[in-house]
Amino acid sequence: MRSRHMKAYKEKTKADSNDARRVLLKLQGLYLFMGLAGGMFNPYINPILVEQGFSSKETGYIMAFGTLVSIILQPIWGILVDKFKKTRFVLVISLLVPASLAYFYNIQVYIILILIYTLCTIFQVTQIPVADSYAVTAARAANTSYGMIRLFGSIGTGVGGFAAGMYLSQFSIHMLWLPFLMFNVLSAILASTLPRQTSISSSSVTFSVGLARLLRNRTFLLFLTGCFLVNQTLTAFNSFFVISFQMAGGSVTMTGTALLLASITNVPSMLAAAFILRKWGHERTMLLAAGAYMLRWGIQWLWPTPEVMIGVQVLHGLSFGFFYIAAVEYVASVTGREMQATGQSLFNMVFAGLGGIVGNMLNGYLLDSGGPSLMYLSCTISAALGSVILYIVSRQAKEQRRSYSLE
């Protein structure tokens, strides 16, 4: 009887392991296609709008407004995931709706462009939190790290950025919606084959209750503030790099090379992240990455030339790659399993949402007013302030661990 139970247990364990590996492979493919779609299209949204006669300040306002509305509506996604268990459905529509609207960026009417960008952002804003909730669960089930999934997104983004440069040497920038549509449809097909919900979405805590708990955590609020100050600077790359690079004299083909270099450096960062996090911890890794942000922006402030702006992209992996993985896993460790979807949503609301609003408005205005140098100076200062706050978070975490060890 005992041997029969042992055999059944081993068979179940083996089946669970095989299922975990299949989900892992699907998620790696999903991140790859999502990266290809975003890498080809997202860096060029601003240039598409500028090509139609709008200024960087005006395009910054479009992006800021869309991000603001998406933040206000984001709790709805949290309710769909946490209460109604619609994890897979939310992920699929978050891919298909922006893909179907991408063509309409070619309309030269400011109000309509605001509407299109807002609708796209409302759906896109939930992609990463939901995909990350799947990825964290799948990584644990397959006994691997989140970085081993996320690095496929970086590979896709890098290849997509380079492919966009080649694509634009043959086709108009107004035709970029086609590959964006294709890769998003492929992503949605893969997403539709994932489990209906993750263990994270089976939360015993509602979004509103989890949100209230997290907002009472002073260390977590400091963490969010530091993340905001650091990540608002990333819009200088995500939204305005193509424009600032061409203002400095860079060509379209060189732009693709810079985007490829930036994203590919995320790959070794993702691979090394598990080791670095075990050795240094979440807080110190984020502090290291924030320092890399300071260096990255400071170099471009002092030497805003195409050659320097390409070369400095090697710091993208050390800055964004390490920071994002450490932050996501920090949220997972602090919030626990029951509030993880809520924690990741709140983190994304501040990291990408609020940071995106302020970054797009501020950096668009600075780029118009003082060119790349002024924008990168502001980014250097903001990253430095974020580093100071993250240092405080690191000190508090160290003191907490010391007090626990004494008890």
- Is 13 a domain residue? no
Task: Annotate 208-228 with b (16+ C-beta within 10 A) or e (fewer).
Answer: eebbebbeeeeebeebbbbbb
Helix (H) or strand (E) holding 182: helix 177-191
- Is 9 a domain residue? no
DSSP conformational letter for 338: G
- pLDDT score of 406: 47
183 has pLDDT over 90: yes
Using CA atoms, how far apart are residues 154 and 367, in angstroms rounded to an integer? 27
What is the length of the chain?
Answer: 407
Q: Look at the chain and report how many structural domains it folds into.
A: 1
Residue 41 confidence class, pLDDT cut points 50, 70, 90: very high
176 has pLDDT over 50: yes
SS3 400: helix
Q: Which domain, by its residues, includes 331?
A: 21-196+205-406
114-123, 153-162, 178-187: least confident range? 153-162
The pair phi, psi for residue 199, each rounded to 5°, is -65, -25
Task: Annotate 330-363 with b (16+ C-beta within 10 A) or e (fewer).
Answer: bbbebbebbbbbbbbbbbbbbbbbbbbbbbbbbb
- pLDDT score of 102: 93
- Is 3 a domain residue? no
Cβ-count burial of 278 within 10 angstroms (0-12 exposed, 13-18 middle, 19+ buried)?
Answer: exposed
- Is 5 a domain residue? no
Q: Which of 378, 101, 124 is nearest to 240 (CA)?
A: 378
- Is 6 a domain residue? no
**Angle made by CA atoms 325, 330, 333, in degrees to the nearest 5:** 130
Task: Give the count of beta carbons closer than 10 Å to the beta carbon of residue 104.
Answer: 16
CB hemisphere CA count around 300 (13 angstroms)? 31
- pLDDT, tens only, 46-102: 888 888 888 878 888 888 888 888 777 776 776 666 666 678 888 899 999 999 999
CATH number at residue 393: 1.20.1250.20
- Is 12 a domain residue? no
Is 367:56 a contact under the CB 8 Å cutoff? yes
Query: DSSP for 259-312?
Result: HHHHHHTHHHHHHHHHHHHHHHHHHHHHHHHHHHHHHHHHHHHH---HHHHHHG
7 has pLDDT over 70: no
- pLDDT, tens only, 187-232: 999 999 988 765 444 455 565 666 677 777 788 889 999 999 999 9
- pLDDT, tens only, 367-396: 888 888 999 999 999 999 999 999 998 888
Largest CA distance in the chain: 79
- pLDDT, tens only, 279-306: 888 888 999 999 999 999 999 999 989 9
11 has pLDDT over 60: no
- Is 15 a domain residue? no
Query: DSSP for 95-163?
Result: HHHHHHHGGGGG---HHHHHHHHHHHHHHHTTHHHHHHHHHHHHHHHTTS-THHHHHHHHHHHHHHHHH
337 has pLDDT over 90: no
Q: Tokens 């930036």 appear where?
A: 262
- pLDDT score of 256: 81
- Is 360 a domain residue? yes
Is 9:132 a contact under the CB 8 Å cutoff? no
**Better-predicted residue by pLDDT, 30 or 279:** 30
